Structure 1
Amino acid sequence: MTASPQVNLRGKRVLVTGGARGLGASISERLAHAGASVVVADVRSEQAQAHCRSLKEKGYEAESIELDVRDPAAVAAAYLEFDQTEQGVDILVNNAAVDVSKPIEHLSAEEVTRVVTTNLLGPMYLCLESYRRMIRRGGGHIVNILSTASNRTWTEAAAYSAGKSGLRAFTHTLFKEAQRDCPGIGVTGIIAGGMETPFVLDRFPGADTSKLQSPDIVADTVLYALSVPVGSVVPELVVVPRSETSWP
């Protein structure tokens, strides 16, 4: 474990979507190390359980749930279960994402639907459930993991860029409404550049990893956003490798 921003999350319950591997696993471990009780949510239930076992072996507090963010009924049901406990979700990290790297002429309707539903509608479903509960409690924090594709696109990234651009717009709107509705709620969008994770390497096994950043760096950026004292908030952060070609 390398040095990370100093933040005490003891007593906080954090939900991390896509938390079983890659960036999600790094985020859940960093937040657990800061004292949070972490809920690892993923469609890969076995991987989520294995990651939770690893976290518990290190002395951290963690649990896993199987969750497909594309299913609004499943998202609502998960939050109803959280409501049955003494503690709801204090911090939501919307990290789950997929991509299909194809030219537009070769994309199927099913592929477009899967990418946009996972990357845009899923996080929105989770924000709806979290935000209204945070309003009632008077505080909380929502972190949406964005991408350089939310600011600038490239070929073979049409559906991915559309989803992430939409999520960035939604995040900005949510930030504005939180300013109006409840100053205790933080909303942060994190624009992350290329990372050395399965999300990239499974699709591009020959990628030059020297030009990719560690997901731990982005996880530390999440921690930094959560470390800002009440009364201030970081609405958006950008963290990219020095060699990133898709920014600005």
Structure 2
Amino acid sequence: MAEPIHGLAGKSVLITGAASGLGAALARSLAAAGADIAVADIRQHHAEAVAGSLREAGARAHAIGLDVGDPGSAKRAVRETLDAFGRLDVLVNNAGTDVTLPIDELGADDWLRVINTNLNGPFLLSKFAATHMRRAAGQAGGGQGGGGGGGHIVNVCSTAAKRAWPNASAYHASKWGLLGLSHALHAELRQYGIKVTAVVAGGMRTPFLLERFPGLDPASLQDPAHVAEAIKAVLLLPESVVAEITVLPLQESSWP
């Protein structure tokens, strides 16, 4: 492992959707910076594989099978992270899904599944994580004014939270909602020393995008590791909070 960066050494990070794509890239990046990683994904065997590779590289890692939209599962994931590492400093709401269909073909179950994963999940996990972070901030002498520092919540949004294209109504609704939720939590939780950041990420070379849109030119997309590095930079800021950051590939086609 690379020499741990002081700002993340000993910190505990729970990442959802961490078995592939941006989540896996972020797990590797933050582990290399010294963080303990809870690798959470609905595909637990894939989460186990990622956690195993992190441990082989010298990091502390724990795999969690997680359905983010299920309240009991979300609460258990926070508790399991605390049990594994004794603390929870950072929550990254990264898990996402989509059903790419015109609205007349989009079933009610499809709509609900996308909203449940992309919006309800971040709400639930933020709710349970913030309860712990507020308590930890109070114990550290934080509270009103945020002097103690109570943790950091990162919500991975998308350029889909800023503009729209056809056949993605559920995805756009969920991501616009997530961006609003993120800014609302920023306004609400900063008094407790809890930072909240929305990451508006442009197109990435991940299966999530390339499998749905095989006509995309991978060269026009960004490596998810670059987005992971941007998130890490935000986490390393000692005092300031970045409420929103936009990370785009140089040839981004979904953003001006």
Q: Determine what percentage of the aligned residue pairs are the same residue.
A: 48
Name the structure 1 match of 2:224: 215
Is it true that 1:79 corresponds to 2:83 in the alignment?
no
Give 1:224-239 correspondences, 5 Å limit: 224-230=233-239, 232-239=240-247
Query: In the TM superposition, what are the counterparts of 1:67-216 in structure 2 within 5 Å?
Result: 67-84=66-83, 87-138=86-137, 139-179=150-190, 181-182=191-192, 184-216=193-225
For residues 161 and 134 of structure 1, what CA distance do their matches in structure 2 show? 30
Aligned length: 242
Of the structure 1 ranges 186-195 and 7-16, higher mean CA displacement relative to structure 2 is found in 7-16
Deviation of 1:205 after TM superposition, in Å, equals: 2.6
Partners of 1:221 and 1:84 in 2: how far apart? Answer: 29
Quote the Cα distance in structure 1 between the aligned partners of 2:80 and 2:180: 29
Report the CA distance shift for 1:160/1:7 in structure 2 as closer, same or farther (over 3 A): farther
Q: Which amino acid aligns with 2:226?
A: I
Distance (Å, rounded) in 1 between the aligned partners of 2:35 and 2:134? 21
The two structures have a TM-score, normalised by structure 2, of 0.90
Any conservation in 1 of the 2:8–2:236 contact (CA below 8 Å)?
A: no
Looking at structure 2, the residues matched to 78 and 241 of structure 1 have their Cα atoms a distance apart, in angstroms, of 32
Once residues 178 and 209 of structure 2 are traced to their aligned partners in structure 1, the CA distance between those partners, rounded to angstroms, is: 20
Deviations 1:32-70 (A, max 9, x none): 011000000001111111111111111121110100001
Partner residue in 1 for 2:48:
49
Q: Tell me the equivalent position of 1:241.
A: 249
- The one-letter code matched in structure 2 to 1:243 is Q
Task: Measure the CA separation in 2 of the matches of 1:68 and 1:40.
Answer: 13
**Matched position secondary structure for 1:99:** coil
Separation in 2 of the partners of 1:7 and 1:119?
32
C-alpha change, 1:207 and 1:85, in structure 2 (3 Å) is: closer
Deviation above 3 Å: which 4+ runs of structure 1?
Answer: 80-86
TM-score, length of structure 1 as denominator length: 0.93
Q: 1:123 to 1:242 in 2, by over 3 A?
A: same
Question: Distance in 1 between the 2:74 and 2:12 partners?
Answer: 17
Post-superposition offset of 1:7: 6.0
Q: Alignment RMSD, CA only?
A: 1.7
Give the structure 2 partner of residue 20 of structure 1: 19
Q: CA–CA distance in 1 between the matches of 2:11 and 2:18?
A: 17
Query: What secondary structure does 1:31 align onto?
Result: helix
Shift in Å, 1:82: 4.0
Asked whether the equivalents of residues 7 and 226 of structure 1 are also in contact (C-alpha less than 8 Å), the reply is no
With over 3 angstroms needed to count, the CA separation of the structure-2 counterparts of 1:82 and 1:58, relative to structure 1, is: closer
Bigger RCO of structures 1 and 2 (CA < 8 A, at least 6 apart): 1
